[in-house]
Amino acid sequence: MRILLLGSTGYLGGHVAERLRALPGVRLLRGGRAPDDDHRIDLAGITTDALAEQLSKAAPDAVVNCAGTVSGTTLNLAEVNSRGPAVLCEALRAAAPDARLVHLGSAAEYGPRGAGERTPEDTPARPVTPYGATKLAGTLAVLEARIDALVLRVTEPVGPGAPPAGLPGRLTAELSRAVARSPHGTLRAGDLSAYRDFVDVRDVAQAVALALALPGRLPRLLNIGSGRAAPARDLAHGLADAAGFTGDIEETPGAADRPTAVPWQCSDITAAEWELGWRPRFTLRESLAALWASDGAPLLAPATGDPA
């Protein structure tokens, strides 16, 4: 099976690549801007004809799109997160109409939900950030494409290699600096009151592998998360526990007139469990231990305390 992976140098893409390489009978082709990529494909700015030409050369049986950006100008977000998937779908229809496309979306597309709710796939999407809005536009392009395609709508990924642009990576970097000063000092964090559905990045990669392997048509949209909401402060305390950090964690509450845009996030993952035979394997504590071991400072003491 020839699988073309777009965005293989990113956080999700790197773990997806590692998982797919381990599958028997898979030849993994990487498409991107890196010198060692198999095909020079940059969804930002590429034309449909140029992308169709690259797809014809690659002749993939399946394509996984992990390409995306979480920061930058609204124009840049739209170019990568919205236009990119739309062009990809059109090019696939022209050059590789039988290939399956697995596109990674984001739970940020849903927008705010009521506390205590699990969000199913048929919930109306009402994003409140440019990132969520542009990711939603990309998802809609895939859902409406006349090809074999599905979207895995991922919640908050956590685990080894988390980038500093996201909360897990940012807290890891801040904790590393705090540990360097003193294992008994103070970690100054931001507002940690929001609840998030944290899912291990390795579990996301497994969901992608299953979506590629299963024959027949699958639902066009599946949530991929843990199915549980945890406060962001559990992330900070879990990392501190993994690091042996015994100092104080000082939260900075958000301004009263600028509340957290999405205070609660929790996805209903029943459909993914049923359709893919997939369930998250890693606990939040295991994910944070792996994150600290890969990205944080060396352990100062054995981890202690309650699970995150």
Give the catalytic positions in this structure. 131
The b/e string for 259-283 (b: 16+ C-beta within 10 A; e otherwise) is eeebbbbbbbbebbeeebebebebb
What are residue 4's phi and psi, to 5 degrees?
-95, 120
Q: Which conformational region is residue 122 in: left (phi greater than 0), alpha (psi within -120 to 50 degrees), or beta?
A: alpha
253: CB partners within 8 A, 6+ apart: 191, 193
Of 201, 137, 134, give the one whose Cα is nearest residue 166: 201
Of 247, 234, 251, 250, give the one whose Cα is nearest residue 288: 234
Q: Which amino acid is at 102?
A: V
Q: Are 31 and 4 in contact (CB under 8 A)?
A: yes
What are residue 148's phi and psi, to 5 degrees?
-80, 100
One DSSP character per residue, 41-89 reads --TTT--HHHHHHHHHHH--SEEEE----SSS-HHHHIIIIIIHHHHHH
79: CB partners within 8 A, 6+ apart: 44, 45
